[in-house]
Amino acid sequence: MDYSQFLLMPQEVGLLLVFLLVFIYDTFMPQRSQRALPVFTTVLFAIYTAICFVPCEVGSAFAGMIETNQATWAMKNILNVGMLIVLMQAAKWTNEEFMRVRRGEFYELLLLTLFGMFLMISARHFLLFVIGLETASLPIACLAAFEKKRYESHEAAAKYVFTAIFSSAIFLLGISFVYGIAGTLYYNDIATMIIGQKSTLLVVALAFVIAGVGFKLSLVPFHQWTADVYQGAPTAVTAYLSVISKGAAAFSFLVIMAQVFGAAYSTAWEWMLYAVIILTITIGNLFAMRQHNLKRFLAFSSISQAGYIMLGVIAANTLGMASMMYYVLVYVFSNLAAFGVIAAIERQTGKTTTDDYNGLFKTNPWLSFTMMLAMFSLGGIPPFAGFFSKFFIFVGACKTGSVAVYVLVLIALVNTIISLYYYLLVVKAMFIRQDDCAIPTLKSSCGERAAMIVCALGIILIGLASCIYTSLTEYTAAIANIFSQI
Amino acid sequence: MDLTLLMYLIPSLIMFGCGVYGFLTRKNMIAIMISLELMLNSIDINFVVFNRFLFPDQYEGMFFTLFAIAIAAAETAVALAIIINVFRAVKNVDINEITKLKF
Amino acid sequence: MIFDNILIYFAIVPLLTLGGLALCNNKGIKAIRAVAVTGASVLVALALYLVKLFLDARGAGDTSEMILRSDYMWYAPLNIKLALGVDGVSVVMILLSAFIVLTGVFASWKINPLPKQFFLWFFLLSTGVFGFFISIDLFTMFMFYEVALIPMYLLIGIWGSGNKNYSAMKLTLMLMGGSAFLMLALIGIYFHSAADGNYTMNILEIAKNNAVPQSWQLYLFPMAFVGFGVLGAMFPFHTWSPDGHASAPTAVSMLHAGVLMKLGGYGCFRIAIYLMPYAANVIGPVFLTLTGISIVYGAFSACVQTDLKYINAYSSVSHCGMVLFAILMFNQTAMTGAVLQMLSHGLMTALFFALIGMIYGRTHTRDIREMGGMMQIMPYLGVGYVIAGLASLGLPGLSGFVAEMTIFFGSFEHPDMFHRVFTIAGASSIVITAVYILRVVGKLLFGAVQNEHHRELTDASWDERVATAVLIVCVAIIGCFPNFFVNIITDSFLPVVDALKNAM
Amino acid sequence: MPLSFSIAVIAIPLLMFLFLGLAGVKMGRKLTGVLGVIAMGVTTVIAYGVALTYFFDSSYIVDGVRKAVIVWNPDWLSFAKDYVVRMGIAIDPIAAMMLVVITTISFMVHLYSLGYMSDHHGNPEKGFQRFYADLALFTFSMLGLVVATNLFQIFVFFEMVGVSSYLLIGFYYHSPAAIHASKKAFIVTRLADLFFLLGIMILGYYTKSFDFFGQNGLTGICDSQEAAQSAISMAGGATFMGCSVMAWALTFIFIGGAGKSAMYPLHIWLPDAMEGPTPVSALIHAATMVVAGVFLVARLFPLYVIEQGAMEIICVVGAFTAFYAAAIACVQSDIKRALAFSTISQIAFMMTSLAVSSANGALIEIHGGYGLGYMASMFHLFTHAMFKALLFLCAGAIIHAVHSNENSDMHGLHKYMPITSIAFLIGCLAIAGIPPFAGFWSKDEILVACYEKGLGWGLWMSAVAGMTAFYMFRIYFLIFHWKEHKVHTEHKPADQVWTMTLPLIILSVVSVVAGFVPMHDLVTWDGKELHTQLNWTVAGSSVGIACVGIALAFVMYFKENALPSKMKNAFSGLWEAAYHRFYMDELYQFITHKVIFKAICVPIAWFDRKFIDGFMNLMADATSQAAYGIRRLQSGSIQGYVYLYLIGALAIAVVGMVCVLM
């Protein structure tokens, strides 16, 4: 075995190193220095994230099972940034009393899931993908159940674990059909085997694969765990789940759809996805409209956002892919900003409903400001980043030129109005409504504050600084061959 | 009589169907867990059979099955742990007990 | 370098003002006002300087479609540029906006609570407005357009009155709904902007390429037109306007009716018609019908309202309908009239809303049935209101008259029955306008004092006098010297009219 | 005096308006008034200078034709490169005459108002400065109207005089009646202006020019008969509903003029306009603004004579209005209203006179053109302005003295107000057409013109002239004679201060002598001198009819007697109808309130709120209802989730299969 192959996956290796160091610290350091674990992890991860921005070598390793290219590198970096923000936000929370014994586990599981996602992104073989998928999803069930005192936490975990296993069973069934048709599990080989095939089995397999990954992405109708788990899980976990996990799944979904099933694009999955996207955006929005619990509200909002992300997949071109990655990046900042505020408030007051936020601006102007930025960005209001990402993803989708996609984009656009409505409800609560017993002025921790500043800056600057999107298009242009089948 | 591909696939499909049916109808979380196992195992059969009958000159399906079994085990472990957690919380393993979060 | 072009300062100055305001102390009302007034004054100065530059350029024989052109690549993969350039129409619109912003600042001199935040949003809105008028790239235009829309929500929601939550939400959602259609239209135009695949967002290039297929135009034109039409209060998409205006604080109503609604008309001709002339010719009559309805319908609706702001909102529907109506006449005269009408309506509606705000600030009611004899109590405001009313009903010497006349005479150039009928219907609005204006003037200002408490009210303070006086002078200048503006504006329509002719 | 001084005639009132309007409140009442009077006096002097120069300087006569002179004519608004509206000053015979009329009356009114407006029922009048500013504005607008170089400018100043009239009628803005009257005046004339606008639009569409007089090589539409003919022919014979478009245009323009000149059925605003201060009524609603319509038709006379159809309409409307208004004037008890109807009737005389002047070709040979009626009309305009202003100012003095408009409160004032009484009598004699007073000369020419059109027209108008004499003397006797009102012994009404009396005296003198102005030499439609002579048959008969009218009035009203009430009872239906102005106001009231307001505006507003807005709200409601309706999908049960998951997966498989099969 050629160990130099590991050099082709520096981010994974680096992440494992971080994991190991955290593990060692957790296991061997004395109890009194355990309180420094969050800071240790965060700093370590920050260093790692910074190092990862060094461009890496491009190529495939382990007999082509894993591939590193600029797009995967960029995607992993995006996830790293998101992870870093989550770690910063969680630092204070993990130091609370009830987390004392589980602090280490929290970080270890979190890092492991990230590792699983990296595998999903880089995998070019279904075995590796499945391993990545399961690595990314199982620990989350444990993380969701972390807050032992809260009943919702348990319910969330149970719902997650059962539906996740069911979903992966469906997914595996789909894979088994694919294997039955193609006789191989390499992406490229499957693609060449299924050219011209119009078998029913393939379509069923495709549907099951979409369902399996759609579950991670919370596409409607595979989304129903999302709201309950988001609401029940600890906020840090929810934040993590809503952005990082979604981003990784979206990217790998695009790779699978394009690279493996590219030949079936126009005949089958374009339309399957078409239906799913309409449902996802609309149902997500409709549910989000009437939520009062902010975490649950953001869950439905993230479902609808997933629909928008899928527009980048249905585009099935490099522009769409770049737009999708960009969308995820913006989404990371916007959603984490929102969760950052929610977490900060929940940690100190335990309040999570919209009504609790009435008059927040009077008492906590900066928190409100950050939340407003997040809401505007999610709603796609310029000059915040969300506007750009939405525009680009629509442009990417419309590049296909088909009238059907234009109609789809129109539906998506009409849905933005609904989404704007509920985002504005939050803004309204904070800025317009008055409440005599508003949440008192809070003092956020350094980590939370830093995370919020990073997010706010990201929301304001990412859109205006065009270099990010430009480089993403370059990265995806470099792997244009994955769309060769379409 | 030679055993053909279908002769393996049909029982596997039935197995999967049983699993799904069990998942949808049982009230006990443990029973649901078992249904899930049924589903996962039927998939394993699929892989093995496809490999054996269609592509006998390589072992990808077999390997996949091995990994799948391991993953299934891990899933079961996590699921059981969570069921225990739930039991501690609601003193029950009835799936209908945990429907507080909805709408 | 981007800072070489004077146009960019129209976006930078409001942003700097924003920054300056952000540095102010929440309590330091004097500093806040100083920053706001400085920013607004600089904008006015810049706008006047721009007019001079424009006149110089035209005087020197520069006949290019846009002057002060420069492109700065922004999003290279999509060929999105920050493309700047102005023609006569943009110049006068910028001038209008600058004056409205300045008077808006004065009109919100005593805004309460949270003055700092108010001005922050106010200037963000201004940034959007100015950005829209200086840019000629579809994407940047659209971006600035939306930047201008969203602050409305908070401005109305926080500082508004009455049923403000409902109104603010309705306004925002309806306008955003319009812009949703607009966005799709822009994307559609973009992907058909060039026959050779070098897609561009630059309006001038798209118009030059003239590559949008006719079949696509038929779909994209209605979307673009409705998108802007919603903002231009076109029937039946106007219903945000009465509620929105009624709830908005004074300066916001001013800016919204005065400038923001103009974005609609401006966008209609600059994007919808200019880039898709074929569809404009084909579908134009449909929208002409709608706008014709707007004019009469708005005027009739205004006749029965009792809330001052509703009266003006419906009056705006009527007047803005006239803008779109004139644009859809597709000839230079009527289109010039449309821009004059935008200027005129912008100024006089701003004046109206400023006065209404001042009256409301004193009486705490806007119901004309509860007021009367205001002329005796606050003669300055009363006279201002009469002047605004006269401008609105088209008194010669004030701006409304020249605008309406140019529109009617331009519209009448179409010899066919369809256009004639609508022209005459539109012209008949001058009578209905007189009816509702005189009705409100009679009830509000004249007659006996309805409420004895009103006798204790004071007349305008100096900041209010500045705001109204500036607007009245502007209205009178346009009304007395229309040719100055016509000469700036009218040549800008040559390319559009040519495009329309060629597409027939 | 060079004609360019006419710029000052326009500019001084405008500057006065701006100055008094802006600085008036800071100035004392005395100062304001004196300043206004002086400014107006200067204007008057200059206007006389200009007019006299124009009329008596032979350099303006080329080939026996008095040419129009364009003093100043800059571009104002360009519709297109060669379709330009200009604003300027053109002096031609009627403009010069109007300058004289307007400045004279305006000056008189300015002077008179010093006294009249100084107190209101004993209290200092509020808004004295505003009054003078508005008067200046009106004077400016009216002057701008008459010196207009083009049709569009006339339209512009039509609007301006409309607004100043609105402001002045509504001067007593705390009185509901005044507000209502001002609103009515404005809206009715606006409606007429709409037609005017349409007329201009049609005319402008075909001729691409609004100019009356040629300049810089262009010809104007009123330069000569040929120019008018070529302007008309630019329409290329286009017709609309069987009539030529130009006839439509000219009719529409006439409607515009009819609104201002209070022709039936657009006359309803004028009686109500008497709610304004009396000097205003004298200036605007008797002498100047109300003749704007006559002026307009006179201005476009070369066009009208070509389009006979339009002329016929004017003729009929004018003749009917003359009679109709005279009939109403016979029974009014409010002296200002009676005078107002008299004004309507007299203006209708002028209109008719204009319209009959193109009756038939034979006339051209006798009178060297169409122009007798035209000249007569302008002549009557001139004289009428003088004596009607006089009558109104007298009425103002009386009202000021007795604080009432009703003649029942006045009876027998002769003893108390001798100067006013004599002045009023002179006015009445003038309007009745008794020689040698001014009205005789002008009315006589009108009747001649009417007789030349046809005997019927002549008789009709003569009858109206007789009614005129009757109702004027009815008013006179009821005010100054009849049985003396007993209140007078306590209040002792008297002739007013000199500022009010002096204008009466001046105007009385003018009313006596104005008839001797050689109008037929100066003001003719084509600029040539018109040779006329007194037609003794017509003159004699009209004087006779007038005398009959006066005699009848004398019998009925000089001394208290039962005759009037007997007559009233005998013709009670007719009397009631005439007293209520034949219910035209009620008709308008019905149309505006019941039809337009209740049947159009209210339903539209309701439709807007309920349907259009309702639809938007419905969409929002439907969305939130849908959101509520589908909430059960999220049942909270794991098995429910999985169930949907499975259905979803299978459903998209079906979608895929359908696609594959297709």
- State the ipTM, two decimals: 0.91
Q: Report whether the peptide linkage leading into residue D277 is cis, meaning its omega lies within 30 degrees of zero.
A: no
CA distances to A382, B11, B14, C135, D253 from B18, rounded to whole Å, are 52, 10, 6, 64, 92
Number of domains in chain C: 1
State mean pLDDT over A305-329: 93
Min Cα–Cα distance to chain B from A396, Å:
34
Instruction: Answer whether A434 touches C (CB < 8 Å).
Output: no
C-beta of residue C14 within 8 angstroms of C-beta of residue C82: no
Give the least confident one: A164-173, A190-199, B8-17, C275-284: A190-199
Q: Comparing C-alpha atoms, which of C333, C351, C355, C353 is closest to residue C343?
A: C351
Interface of C with D in 112-171 (CB under 8 A): 170
Domain-embedded: residue B34: yes
Residue whose tokens read 């008028």? C133
Domain-embedded: residue B103: no
Burial of D577 (0-12, 13-18, 19+ CB in 10 A): middle
Q: Which pLDDT band holds residue D370 (cuts at 50, 70, 90)?
A: low
What would the two tokens of residue C265 be?
A: 């008309």
Instruction: Answer whether A276 touches D (CB < 8 Å).
Output: yes
Partner residue facing A417 (CB), from C139, C165, C180: C180
End-to-end CA distance of chain A: 35
Range of the domain at B71: 5-97
Burial of A273 (0-12, 13-18, 19+ CB in 10 A): buried
Helix (H) / strand (E) element for D71: namely strand D69-72
Q: What is the pLDDT of residue D540?
A: 85
Q: Most confidently modeled of A234-238, D309-313, D352-356? A: A234-238
What would the two tokens of residue D461 be?
A: 């108008």
State mean pLDDT over D308-337: 87
Q: Does the beta-carbon distance from D645 to A166 stay under 8 Å?
A: yes
C-beta of residue B19 within 8 angstroms of C-beta of residue B36: yes
Q: Does the beta-carbon distance from A222 to D623 stay under 8 Å?
A: no
Which of B64, B69, B92 to mutate against chain A (most A CBs within 10 Å)? B64
Q: By three-state DSSP, how is residue C86 classified?
A: strand
State mean pLDDT over D355-379: 65
Burial of D103 (0-12, 13-18, 19+ CB in 10 A): buried
Interface of D with C in 97-126 (CB under 8 A): none
Under DSSP, the state recorded for A147 is: -
Number of domains in chain A: 1
The yes-or-no verdict on residue D361 having pLDDT over 50 is: no
C-alpha–C-alpha distance, residues A261 and C193, integer Å: 32
Domain-embedded: residue B102: no
Q: Comparing C-alpha atoms, which of D137, D150, D42, D152 is closest to residue D95?
A: D150
Burial profile A183-195: b = 16 or more Cβ within 10 angstroms, e = fewer: bbbbbbbbbebbe
Residues 6+ apart with CB under 8 A from D284: D138, D161, D164, D165, D168, D273, D276, D290
Nearest residue in chain D measured CA to CA from C376: D174
Average pLDDT, chain A: 91
Q: What are the tens digits of pLDDT across the range D589-642?
A: 888 888 888 888 888 888 888 888 888 889 989 999 998 998 888 888 999 999
C-alpha–C-alpha distance, residues C173 and C162, integer Å: 19
pTM of the model: 0.92
Q: Comparing C-alpha atoms, which of D133, D141, D180, D130 is closest to residue D163?
A: D141
Identify the residue with better confidence: C365 or D412: C365
What would the two tokens of residue D35 be?
A: 């300043």
Range of the domain at A221: 3-483
Q: Comparing C-alpha atoms, which of D615, D190, A456, D631 is closest to residue C390?
A: D190
Interface of B with D in 15-34 (CB under 8 A): 20, 23-25, 32
State mean pLDDT over A355-384: 91
Centre a 10 Å sphere on the Cβ of residue D111 and count the other Cβ atoms it contains.
23
Identify the residue with better confidence: D441 or A475: A475
C-alpha–C-alpha distance, residues D143 and D104, integer Å: 12
Domain-embedded: residue B41: yes
Min Cα–Cα distance to chain A from B25, Å:
14
Q: Comparing C-alpha atoms, which of A37, A34, A7, A54 is closest to residue A110?
A: A37
The yes-or-no verdict on residue D367 having pLDDT over 50 is: no
C-beta of residue D314 within 8 angstroms of C-beta of residue D390: no
Nearest residue in chain A measured CA to CA from C156: A432
Q: How far is C-alpha D104 from the chain's CA centre?
A: 18
The list of chain C residues with pLDDT below 70 reads 1
Q: How many CB pairs under 8 A join A and B?
A: 118
Identify the residue with better confidence: D375 or C37: C37
Q: Comparing C-alpha atoms, which of A254, A323, A246, A315 is closest to residue A284?
A: A246
Q: Which pLDDT band holds residue D362 (cuts at 50, 70, 90)?
A: very low
Range of the domain at C194: 2-503
Q: Which residues of D touch B (CB under 8 A)?
A: 631-632, 634-639, 642-643, 646
Burial profile A420-454: b = 16 or more Cβ within 10 angstroms, e = fewer: bbbbbbbbbbbbbbeeeebbeebebbebbbbbbeb
Partner residue facing B102 (CB), from D636, D643, D646: D636
Percent of chain A predicted with pLDDT > 90:
68
Burial of D186 (0-12, 13-18, 19+ CB in 10 A): buried
Q: What are the tens digits of pLDDT across the range D117-135?
A: 877 665 666 778 888 888 8
Q: How many CB pairs under 8 A join A and C?
A: 79
C-alpha–C-alpha distance, residues A297 and A281, integer Å: 14
Q: Does the beta-carbon distance from A391 to C183 stay under 8 Å?
A: yes
Partner residue facing A151 (CB), from B23, B79, B89: B89
Number of domains in chain B: 1
Which residues in chain A touch residue C177, judged by CB atoms under 8 angstroms apart?
A: 414, 417
Q: Strand pairing partners for C82? A: C72
Partner residue facing C158 (CB), from A401, A432, A473: A432
C-alpha–C-alpha distance, residues C285 and C328, integer Å: 8
Instruction: Answer whether D602 touches C (CB < 8 Å).
Output: yes
C-beta of residue D275 within 8 angstroms of C-beta of residue D182: yes
C-alpha–C-alpha distance, residues D534 and D520, integer Å: 12
State mean pLDDT over D178-194: 89
C and B touch per CB criterion (3+ pairs under 8 A):
no
C415-424: which pairs have CB atoms within 8 A and are 24 or more residues apart? C415/D205, C418/C285, C418/C288, C419/C288, C419/C329, C422/C288, C422/C289, C422/C292, C422/C325, C423/D201, C424/D198
Q: By three-state DSSP, how is residue C137 classified?
A: strand
Q: Strand pairing partners for D119? A: D124
C-beta of residue A206 within 8 angstroms of C-beta of residue A261: yes
Percent of chain A predicted with pLDDT > 70:
100
C-beta of residue D634 within 8 angstroms of C-beta of residue A283: no
Q: Which pLDDT band holds residue D358 (cuts at 50, 70, 90)?
A: low
C-alpha–C-alpha distance, residues D226 and C416, integer Å: 30
Helix (H) / strand (E) element for C7: namely none
C-alpha–C-alpha distance, residues D152 and D149, integer Å: 9
CATH number for the domain spanning B70: value is: 1.10.287.3510
Q: Does the beta-carbon distance from A391 to C190 stay under 8 Å?
A: no
Under DSSP, the state recorded for C67 is: E
Q: What are the tens digits of pLDDT across the range D36-64?
A: 899 999 999 999 999 988 888 888 888 77
C-beta of residue A137 within 8 angstroms of C-beta of residue A246: no
